[in-house]
Structure 1
Amino acid sequence: MSAPLMTRSICIPVTKKGSHVFEIAGYSAYKCMDSDYFINSGTFSVGGHNWYIRFQPNVVFVNAGVDGAVQHCISVHLVLHSKGAKVRASCDLSLVDKSTGSPWLVLRTPEPREFKYGDTSMYFPKSAFMDHAMLEASPAYLRDDRLVIQCDVTVIKDPRLFTNKFVGEHEPPPSNIAEHIGTLLETGVGADVTFAVEGETFAAHKVILAARSPVLMAELFGPMKEARMKHLTVEDMHPDVFRAMLHFIYTDDLPNTDEIWRDHENKMIQHLLVAANRYDVDRLKSICQGILCDRLDVENVGATLVLAYHYNCPRLRKLCIRLITDPKFMEALKETAGYRDLKTNYPDVLADLFEVKTSNLHTK
């Protein structure tokens, strides 16, 4: 007698996560505004819905104690901006330490809640974010009259339902091919070419490099003399940059190092973009552009614009120009060393920038 057929259903929650950073310049100009005054961030998308951050610089609370003391606070809310939508979501609201780039969690929704478009339920939480005295005593979070707010949003989507015909039906594990190929780089097993970079030697595999880079394909298997060589020298590149590029070539991912993710001057990412452009590793170049776009601010936009011009990064160039040609942003930019360097050393870039601005004015 055959065993009875048994089925199984699995309900798997589906979440979409995203973050938005909102920088407020000139905090002191806003802190004495009326209690109902607010500033909205740009709109951003998480989970297929549009959101923005609302910042109120001077919310007044009266303590319920005997003294009835008045407390002046900043208040920060997440707002759903998709009309007619009902979305279950949670959010973390943090201040970003300007010296380290690390967020410090201030408020968190205790559990997911339903957001709707409209005044009745558009905010969470309805409370003070931080009082003025505490904020102004924290130089890490209020530096050069600027503060940076980070909002991490988690949207809870409809769950996925899977049905298996047989209990114990085999499900293959997730792909780990990148891990296995990355091990070849770590161990050097089967390596057939070495690269000398400023005194450091890197062992690699010609066929993997050629598959990932058209430039290396030509160097290692084309008519160039390097194709007959087993030891190559790389000029004008730091070993850490070459190491990170090799890691990406083998694993299709950036290494998880402080030099990349806590590099607040963006030097490593900039050098990686240059290396990706040099070896025609398009996906790495695109990822570096995306990181630089996310990290743009008034201090680094000048240097980033020069990089975008020299290495053909249209997406990055377009965003830099959009920021610089904003009148409010330009006023702050003129006071930075990056802008002075742009005027002194890259007048051609600056001239092109103002041609774009003039052209935009004529088309309006």
Structure 2
Amino acid sequence: MYHSTGQTELYAVEKVPFKWVISNFSYCSDETGDFIQSSAFPLETKSEKWCLRIYPGGLDAACKNYISLYLMLVSSYKTTEVKATFQFSLINADNMKIITMKFQQPQTFVQGKEWGFRKFIKRNYLFNKSYQLLPNDVITISCDVTSLDPNKFKIAPQSDQIEKTLLSVDCELSKHFEDLFENQKLTDITFCIQGRQLKAHKTILISRSEVFRAMFESDMEESLTNKIEITDIEYNVFKAMLDFIYTDKTPNFNMARELLVVADKYAVYRLKALCEKNIFTNISTENSAEVLILADLHSCDYLKCQTLDFIVTFAKIIIHTEGWKSLEKTHPRLIAEAYTEMVNRQIK
């Protein structure tokens, strides 16, 4: 059974960070193959220059519904070939790295050669305002390049082929809101779950959830009585969601799937995105069919497209698993989507 987990160790010569900001992104050409190229950015030693290329409409027809993103070597003064690893991150409205995709193993670049991701992010996921990835129609991409000495690198056992990372910054405000929730003082709404109660503050909930806003600003009975019965969610899962609403801290991912479901129900989009990424980091050939169903059911565009890519890559193993056989019986539409991806890759 293949798992997308592990670690790669590299001995680096030089690292260079680069941030690329593109305004009015929705007005960029979405024709397949059209690209925008960044300015060249050098290493500190000036021995190499790099640039980024983004394809708003996808690199080719097989990925026309995706944004493609590539790193290209512009020039090298030391050698004709450069070995490097790199990672791309998409930065959201809160200046947080929400999506990070990384080549763990070094790639060989020559002048004009580009390496990257044909399916960096799905277009409808990027343009969904709920995820706040295009604030004021501006896309911000971070790129970290690590240039390697060809005589001084080694690779440890196979690791995460794609690492998704989300950053959490501790601050006093977060701690104060955590205390506010834990102390249960000056609350004005009570949730009754499995014979237990959780008290909260409406103003905080509506600032983080469109669903709570609609609930509390309406004339629903729950809004008038300030008491809500929760019958379809476990106490610990609901409390974990409230913890996140108050603190924005990375949750306990031992119940990532349950949290994804509740985050989807209450439109806590950042929590949902965090859960999607965690679930994908723990995907395997045995559970990939189950993850695909979950992603499709809860409109997780990012998780779904990454899972389809994983299934296509390891199709020879996955089609013999019990999960896949069950998927064939219960979700023929998803089977068709997976086979379409396989055909598109073969054409590519």
TM-score bracket relative to the smaller structure: 0.5 to 0.7
Q: TM-score, normalised by structure 2?
A: 0.55
Please list the CA deviations of residues 150-170 of structure 1 after superposition, one character each: whole Å capped at 9, or x if unmatched: 79x9xxxxxxxxxxxxxxxxx
Pair 1:281-2:268 in alignment: yes
How far apart in 2 are the matches of 1:334 and 1:223? 51
For 1:235, the aligned partner's letter is: T
How far apart in 2 are the matches of 1:239 and 1:286? 21
The answer for unaligned runs of 5 or more in structure 1 is 1-18, 24-41, 54-78, 85-114, 130-146, 154-173
Q: 1:310 aligns to what? A: 297
One of 302, 306, 309 as aligned partner of 1:322: 309
How far apart in 2 are the matches of 1:150 and 1:350? 25
For 1:227, the aligned partner's letter is: S
5 Å-filtered alignment, 1:239-254, equals 239-254=235-250
Q: Secondary structure at the match of 1:325?
A: helix
For 1:117, the aligned partner's letter is: L
Contact 1:178 1:252 in 2 (8 A): yes
Pair 1:45-2:87 in alignment: yes
For 1:347, the aligned partner's letter is: P
How far apart in 2 are the matches of 1:285 and 1:325? 24
Contact 1:188 1:204 in 2 (8 A): yes
One of 174, 196, 207 as aligned partner of 2:203: 207
* Greater Cα offset, 296-305 or 241-250: 296-305
Please list the CA deviations of residues 118-168 of structure 1 after superposition, one character each: whole Å capped at 9, or x if unmatched: 5322x148xxx7xxxxxxxxxxxxxxxxx86479x9xxxxxxxxxxxxxxx
Q: Percent identity?
A: 27
Contact 2:5 2:282 in 1 (8 A): no
Pair 1:271-2:258 in alignment: yes
One of 338, 348, 352 as aligned partner of 2:337: 352
One of 148, 153, 172 as aligned partner of 1:176: 172
Pair 1:333-2:318 in alignment: yes
Q: TM-score, normalised by structure 1?
A: 0.53
How big is the shift at 1:332?
1.4
For 2:325, the aligned partner's letter is: R
Q: 1:117 aligns to what? A: 148
Contact 1:52 1:81 in 2 (8 A): no
Q: Secondary structure at the match of 1:184?
A: helix
Change (3 A) 1:49 1:271: closer
How big is the shift at 1:356?
3.8
One of 290, 293, 300 as aligned partner of 2:287: 300
Please list the CA deviations of residues 31-85 of structure 1 after superposition, one character each: whole Å capped at 9, or x if unmatched: xxxxxxxxxxx965289997634xxxxxxxxxxxxxxxxxxxxxxxxx576779x
Q: 1:231 aligns to what? A: 227
* Greater Cα offset, 283-292 or 174-183: 174-183
How big is the shift at 1:233?
0.8
How big is the shift at 1:223?
3.1
Q: Secondary structure at the match of 1:321?
A: helix
* Greater Cα offset, 203-212 or 348-357: 348-357
How big is the shift at 1:344?
2.7
Change (3 A) 1:214 1:49: closer
How far apart in 2 are the matches of 1:246 and 1:49? 29
How far apart in 2 are the matches of 1:46 and 1:315? 15
Q: Secondary structure at the match of 2:231?
A: coil
Change (3 A) 1:218 1:187: same
How far apart in 2 are the matches of 1:49 and 1:231? 43
Q: Secondary structure at the match of 1:203?
A: strand
How far apart in 2 are the matches of 1:251 and 1:241? 15
Contact 1:198 1:238 in 2 (8 A): yes
For 1:196, the aligned partner's letter is: C
For 2:175, the aligned partner's letter is: E
How far apart in 2 are the matches of 1:222 and 1:195? 17
How far apart in 2 are the matches of 1:295 and 1:82? 30
Q: 2:192 aligns to what? A: 196
How big is the shift at 1:243?
1.0
How far apart in 1 are the matches of 2:331 and 2:338? 11
Contact 1:50 1:80 in 2 (8 A): no
Q: Secondary structure at the match of 2:338?
A: helix
How far apart in 2 are the matches of 1:195 and 1:218? 16
Contact 2:85 2:147 in 1 (8 A): no
